[in-house]
Structure 1
Amino acid sequence: MSDRQSAPTPPLSPHAHGLPILIIGSGSTGLALGQGLGKAGISCIIFEKDSALERSRDWNMGLHWGAPILKSLIPEDRWARIQSVQVDPHNPTKNEDTLAFINGATGEEMVAFTFGPFYRLRRSKLRSLLAPGLEIRHSKTLCNVTYAHDGQSVTAHFNDGTSATGCMLVGADGARSTVRQLLLGPTKGAINRIPYAATFVQRRFTREQALYLRSFHPLFLASAHPDKHFAFFGMQDAADADDPTSWTFFFYISWQSSVEEQDATAGWTDAQRLAQQKQFARKFCDPWKSAYEWTPDNAPVWYLGLTDWDPGRQGYRWDNHSGLVTMVGDAVHPMTYQRGQGLNHSITDAGKLTESIVEIHQGANRNETIASFENEMIERGGKEVRDGTANTRLLHDWAKVQQSPFFTKGVTKD
């Protein structure tokens, strides 16, 4: 890919130095970036479309090779609390842990990975850890971005009629990023739908059931099934270490599902989604078989068709307006989740962009510095998007599952 050529920009003017960085989105990436900038003494404001930090859906994410970068972005006392953010805060993170990948039909171990430290973090708790001390403005839905004629400032415009001006704008607004669509248009900027889907369940069980289900692995377990299904089972929240009835488990089965099938079933109810999962699970070994049998037919679930967006595609490089606007995290490289790389790349973006903004504030050329940041991010994140989607395809093809990156490399960085 050739770099976009543009005229050099002068160092930030005194006016621009007085303006904040505008961050669109208060997910983990935007908050981590905000913490890094705050630690460096650089003003920023985060804008969030939701009315509050809390959201109705919660899930968990793996943090491993990206952990040192997150540690560098946040205050020491905040990192000291990282254990409290884990799905099981009572079970100290090991320097090394072994995670198994099994045959979903027989329970036979196909491969095991030993690595660490591995943090399995609840998304809601991670955001709560990262939010304090940041200026977050809620109920702000971005609708447009404009740029000053002198090239020194950028203005975000919101649906409520308000606006905010900063010396740079960063899109950290997730897989269906508005910033990306404003930069590339509704066609190139749209999320790419791929032919796989999953339905997710979060559930508590009786004491005996919970102890049995967790006996397979205290953290999480993954499997591929000969029927071309992939499955995950793990903890979401171990609220009370001594009360298994307080433990919430998180599990799903994913399958090949054409975009046409996804559209045709768009109106399905939770009960229909769960019934489909239960049908898949009948051919699975435990813990999936029992977990689905023990889940009431009217239990709430949520469904997602899988998506990606590759920033490395020819012709998809955006105009960053000489470094006035850029993107990080899922806004620029949303990827499938079966190999657990998304959070690590997103935190890496936040760390590298923090370093770049510090350099700009110290006098570095904004255009060149942001171009360099984007080049590295596009190469690294784009490769992971492509590898992640290939991994998803292979995990759902029993004849090729052993060729998948998950099987050959686990969740470690290349």
Structure 2
Amino acid sequence: MDCATISDENGGAPGVLIIGSGSTGLALAQGLTKAGIQCIVFEKNPTQHRERDWNMGLHWGAPVLKSLIPQEWWEQIQSLQVDPHVPTKDEDTLNFLNGATGEHMTGFTFGPFYRLRRSKLRALLSQNLDIRYDKKLTGISYSEDGSSVTAHFADGTTTTGKMLVGADGARSATRKLLLGPTLGAINRLPYGATFVQTKFSREQALFLRKFHPLFLGAAHPSNYFAFFGMQDAAEADRPETWTFFFYISWRYSLQEQDATAHWTDAQRLQQVKELSKGFADPWKSAFEWTPDDNPVWYLGLTDWDPGVEGHRWSNYGGRVTMVGDAVHPMTYQRGQGLNHSITDAGKLTAAIQAVSGEEDGAKRAEIITAFENEMIARGGEEVRTSTTNTGMLHDWESVMKSPVMTAGLKKGGE
């Protein structure tokens, strides 16, 4: 990509401006760097450190991530897992229990399956990149000759490049700038979930972990869904240092969500502790043993379907696009988000390589539009499937017909 005409107040010459330093934006930046294309990553937060950390499932998207980073980095993938001491199996089984009785409902075997800590993945992917923090995107402007795009930030600075990519998450500022505050707004769903991360005594930790080394799901006859798993088991021989990650989700109308928006952590935890009393172990004991002052976080579930009429944005001649949760934020019970997002990064890297040095503006637009068409079809289908799945998992009569029960974690319900 010709960067000769690109200007930057800080003296650089980026070809691609990437908004957001989450896993998707960083994977894209690594792919572009590997391809010899200059880029800068802009992050609205003041530092890389985030107060909250969680883990994500990487499975069918793993080969794409491997292609975007140096081989020696991929060889470190085991160290990024919630338990680096448990080797990734060629195949593993995710079991679902009856949340009320603890009885096995179903399970599906797939693999390899990587359960990665988000903070560790971001740390790996942040290496050797130009990442600029405390840069909140407030505007995008386009040159009249069709050759460049300029990002405007809240601190009054601007940076100009050949292309801008919004990888700024489910509440994407890029999406709102491209579509407006109404069409670009996240879609709220009538479900809520409270997440807990905590440590336990040695004896308690060993008891809880015996249900499965890494992850376990449950549907409850009272129309709840639950997950239980590891978050951090860095010291294999010290169970008292392990951090567990678990949640219960339930039907929660938007009116109820609004009415409880002011609730404290203690109130959120008390609410979900009451729900957990009807569960079998490991949830019953895990919530019972969690201290009442333990920090939690609550999320109202959301999505945004790029396939909905009116949701198609202009890419301004191939100069601006979006990837990951910025364009297809989805509910998480089917475990597809990271895989689609990494796939976006791989496919956009290839598209940008194809337009590198291309002087024909119409051709550049055609290539980027083709990338978007595939992403919108693939990601939009998954948004709809995942939302349907969430609804069915919270309806006891429909649980066994839900996509995650019938198709597991296969892409697009294959």
Superposition TM-score tier, normalisation by shorter sequence: over 0.9
Distance 1:142 1:62, change over 3 A: same
**2-side partners of 1:53 and 1:119: how far apart?**
23
Please list every run of 5 or more consecutive structure 2 residues that lacks an aligned counterpart in the other structure: 8-12
Q: Does 1:242 align with 2:237?
A: yes
**Structure 1 residue aligned with 2:180:** 185
* TM-score of the pair, normalised by structure 1: 0.96
8 A contact 1:12–1:360 mirrored in 2: no
**1-side partners of 2:4 and 2:205: how far apart?**
60
**Structure 2 residue aligned with 1:219:** 214
8 A contact 2:183–2:310 mirrored in 1: no
**1-side partners of 2:331 and 2:53: how far apart?**
17
Cα drift, residue 209 of structure 1: 0.3
**Structure 1 residue aligned with 2:398:** 400
Cα drift, residue 411 of structure 1: 1.3
Q: Does 1:410 align with 2:408?
A: yes
**Structure 2 residue aligned with 1:272:** 267
Q: Does 1:97 align with 2:92?
A: yes
Cα drift, residue 355 of structure 1: 0.2
Secondary structure of residue in 2 paired with 1:290? helix
**2-side partners of 1:409 and 1:234: how far apart?**
21
Q: C-alpha offsets along residues 193-214 of structure 1, whole Å, 9 cap, x if unaligned?
A: 0000000000100000000000
Per mean C-alpha deviation after superposition, the further-off stretch among 17-26 and 242-251 is: 17-26
Per mean C-alpha deviation after superposition, the further-off stretch among 31-40 and 362-371 is: 362-371
Which residue among 5, 19, 27 is the counterpart of 1:15? 5
- Read off the aligned partner of 2:5 and give its amino acid letter: H
- Read off the aligned partner of 1:407 and give its amino acid letter: M
Secondary structure of residue in 1 paired with 2:50? coil
- 1:325-344 mapped onto 2 (5 Å cutoff): 325-344=320-339
Please list every run of 5 or more consecutive structure 1 residues that lacks an aligned counterpart in the other structure: 1-10
**2-side partners of 1:16 and 1:56: how far apart?**
35
8 A contact 1:196–1:256 mirrored in 2: yes
**2-side partners of 1:412 and 1:215: how far apart?**
27
Cα drift, residue 298 of structure 1: 1.1
Cα drift, residue 16 of structure 1: 5.9
Per mean C-alpha deviation after superposition, the further-off stretch among 27-36 and 89-98 is: 89-98
Q: May I ask how many residue pairs the two structures share in their alignment?
A: 404
Per mean C-alpha deviation after superposition, the further-off stretch among 233-242 and 358-367 is: 358-367
Q: C-alpha offsets along residues 108-161 of structure 1, whole Å, 9 cap, x if unaligned?
A: 111111111000000000000100011000000000000000000000000000
Secondary structure of residue in 1 paired with 2:178? helix
**2-side partners of 1:121 and 1:45: how far apart?**
25
Identity level (%): 68
8 A contact 2:198–2:290 mirrored in 1: yes
**1-side partners of 2:14 and 2:402: how far apart?**
47
8 A contact 1:204–1:247 mirrored in 2: yes
**Structure 1 residue aligned with 2:385:** 387
8 A contact 1:197–1:256 mirrored in 2: yes
8 A contact 1:12–1:152 mirrored in 2: no
Distance 1:13 1:286, change over 3 A: closer
Cα drift, residue 15 of structure 1: 3.0
Secondary structure of residue in 1 paired with 2:134? coil
Q: Does 1:285 align with 2:280?
A: yes
**Structure 1 residue aligned with 2:10:** none
- Read off the aligned partner of 1:400 and give its amino acid letter: S
* TM-score of the pair, normalised by structure 2: 0.96
8 A contact 2:3–2:162 mirrored in 1: no
- Read off the aligned partner of 1:287 and give its amino acid letter: P
**Structure 2 residue aligned with 1:297:** 292
Cα drift, residue 173 of structure 1: 0.2
